[in-house]
Amino acid sequence: MEHHVVIEKLCSCAKKEGLSQISTYDAKDAALAAAEAQMGMMNGSFCGKHTFQLVEVDDNFVIGMVGGGCGCK
């Protein structure tokens, strides 16, 4: 079974970093580890105008923006 890490909305910081909106993994634990690492990087190195949270949806992991729209430059 495949498990996906999905960035709900690619803000300009994510686009600048060249992040893919969907990444696919064979194992759920690998997908979770990748999602946590990616979210940590996004929260730590993006512009800081918003934060990101991780939600599990049907054995997949969605990284969503917290606190409204994107103000990235």
The pLDDT tens digits of the residues spanning 19-60 come to 999 999 999 999 999 999 999 999 999 988 889 999 999 999
pLDDT at 48: 86
What is d(CA 68, CA 57) in angstroms, rounded to the nearest whole number?
Answer: 21
Q: Indicate the pTM of the whole model.
A: 0.88
Does a structural domain hold residue 32?
A: yes
Structural domain boundaries, residue 13 = 3-66
CA 46, 30, 6 angle in degrees (round to 5)? Answer: 45
Q: Is residue 31 part of a domain?
A: yes
Q: How far apart are CA 17 and CA 59, in angstroms?
A: 26
CB 34 within 8 A of CB 19: no
CB 38: neighbour CB atoms within 10 A?
21
> How many structural domains comprise the chain?
1
Place of tokens 């709900």: 8
